[in-house]
């Protein structure tokens, strides 16, 4: 599974400068949601769950979590189309 960049949720978030991506630090791999405001990166949320990428199934779970995140923020911030 790959993130569908042509999905309306992903495109709307990108156009409104909301991005969700995997991030690696000393604790492992997690998902971070951020937006860009006036050239500054603002973290909206960092997942508590850690992800693995050892198998295809692990990668699919990570992609699914990212896509669900885009859908969540699309519904949360896109008031015009959700009426």
Nearest CA among 26, 22, 73 for reference residue 51: 22
Where are the domains positioned within the chain?
8-77
State how far the Cα of 65 lies from the Cα of 45, in Å rounded to an integer: 13
Residue 83 has pLDDT above 60, yes or no: no
Q: What is the pLDDT of residue 54?
A: 87
State how far the Cα of 4 lies from the Cα of 60, in Å rounded to an integer: 13
Q: Is pTM beyond 0.75 here?
A: yes
pLDDT confidence of 35, banded at 50, 70, 90?
Answer: very high
Token pair, residue 72, equals 């969540």
Q: Tell me: the pLDDT tens digits for 47-59?
A: 989 998 889 999 8
């Amino acid at each position: 599974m790959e993130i569908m960049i042509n999905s309306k949720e992903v495109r709307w978030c990108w156009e409104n400068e909301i991005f969700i991506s995997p991030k690696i630090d000393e604790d492992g791999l997690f998902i971070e949601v951020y937006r860009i405001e006036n050239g500054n990166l603002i973290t909206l949320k960092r997942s508590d769950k850690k992800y693995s990428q050892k198998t295809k199934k692990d990668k699919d779970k990570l992609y699914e979590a990212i896509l669900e995140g885009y859908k969540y923020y699309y519904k949360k911030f896109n008031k015009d189309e959700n009426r």
